[in-house]
């Protein structure tokens, strides 16, 4: 009898890693919005109380402003963003044909600046870059996420998935340990979410400003006492791509508000 129990326990133990590393099924995927309190939800829902909309307004002005030695504005090539940018952010990070690797929306904006506007790249997390990417991503609000569907992106999605599953840092935790296995529980009083990047760039009350998904990932990495990857590094882009493909089908919320 005790032998059987030992065998059953061993079998359960052997199966456990597979169960724990289980990805969240599509119908159980939830935006971070569903983990928030009513006050923070109300703040996001009303465009006149959502501070992220201030950045969207700035981005709208930048979209039409001529810049660089080519004296071109984004609008000169792309026209009215309401039509031309609808759904674009839901597909990013996307493969850049010339580079042969995925680029984030921020990197795409800077590639456009370099190649078409002959302008200097905007630094990561600078107000102008966040404003432009918030304005572009806002056009995809309520569009379902489809990033990572491109077959060319598959190896990079896999790379991102490996990083998501890999333990790192002094606390020896992988992203999956919290965001697949323990969402809906609490960490020091704060809800653990599924880590679905539906609303980036988003306004975090803790930051008192808008921030990118890369900033969020880097703060999680310092949280587990790991060396954070640099902004724009291939690892962060792969992680971002995996996260977006993991959120497939969820609607975009940019600019979201999070605590």
Partner 1 sequence: MAALINVPAKAKRGDVIEIRALTSHIMETGFRHTADGKLVPRDIITSFTCRYNGTEIFRADLFPAIAANPYLSFFTVAKESGKFEFEWIGDNGYSSTASASITVE
**Could you give the residue numbers annotated as active site?**
220
> Distance between CA 217 and CA 220 in Å, rounded?
5
The site map against partner 1 for 38-57 (x = CB under 8 A) is ---------xxx-x-xxx-x
Contacts of 130 (CB under 8 A, 6+ apart): 55, 201, 209, 210, 211, 212
CB closer to partner 1, 24 vs 54: 54
CB closer to partner 1, 179 vs 258: 258
Binding positions for partner 1, 133-162, rule CB under 8 A: none
Instruction: Tell me the two tokens of residue 109.
Output: 């904006």
Residue 259 interacting with partner 1 (CB under 8 A): no
Binding positions for partner 1, 161-220, rule CB under 8 A: 205, 208-209
CB closer to partner 1, 57 vs 171: 57
Count of residues that bind partner 1 according to CB under 8 A = 12
Q: How far is the CB of 104 from partner 1 (least distance, A)?
A: 24
- Tell me which residues touch partner 1 (CB under 8 A): 47-49, 51, 53-55, 57-58, 205, 208-209
């Amino acid at each position: 009898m005790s032998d059987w129990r030992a065998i059953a326990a061993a079998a359960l133990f052997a199966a456990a890693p597979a169960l724990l590393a289980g990805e969240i099924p599509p119908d159980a995927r939830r935006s971070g919005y569903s983990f928030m309190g009513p006050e923070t939800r109300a703040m996001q829902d009303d465009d006149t109380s959502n501070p992220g909309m201030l950045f969207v307004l700035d981005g709208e002005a930048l979209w039409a402003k001529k810049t660089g030695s080519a004296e071109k504005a984004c609008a000169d090539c792309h026209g009215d963003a309401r039509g031309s940018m609808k759904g674009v952010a839901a597909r990013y990070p996307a493969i850049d044909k010339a580079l042969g690797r995925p680029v984030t929306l921020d990197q795409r904006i800077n590639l456009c600046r370099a190649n078409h506007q002959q302008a200097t790249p905007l630094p990561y997390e600078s107000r102008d870059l966040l404003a432009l990417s918030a304005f572009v991503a806002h056009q995809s609000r309520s569009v379902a996420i489809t990033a990572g569907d491109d077959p060319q992106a598959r190896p990079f999605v896999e790379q991102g998935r490996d990083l998501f599953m890999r333990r790192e840092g002094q606390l020896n935790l992988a992203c999956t340990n919290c965001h697949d296995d323990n969402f809906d529980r609490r960490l020091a009083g704060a809800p653990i979410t599924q880590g679905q990047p539906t609303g980036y760039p988003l306004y975090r009350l803790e930051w008192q400003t808008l921030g990118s998904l890369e900033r969020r990932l880097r703060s999680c990495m310092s949280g587990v006492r790991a060396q954070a990857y640099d902004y724009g590094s291939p690892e962060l882009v792969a992680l971002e791509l995996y996260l977006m493909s993991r959120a497939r089908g969820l609607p975009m919320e940019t600019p979201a508000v999070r605590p």
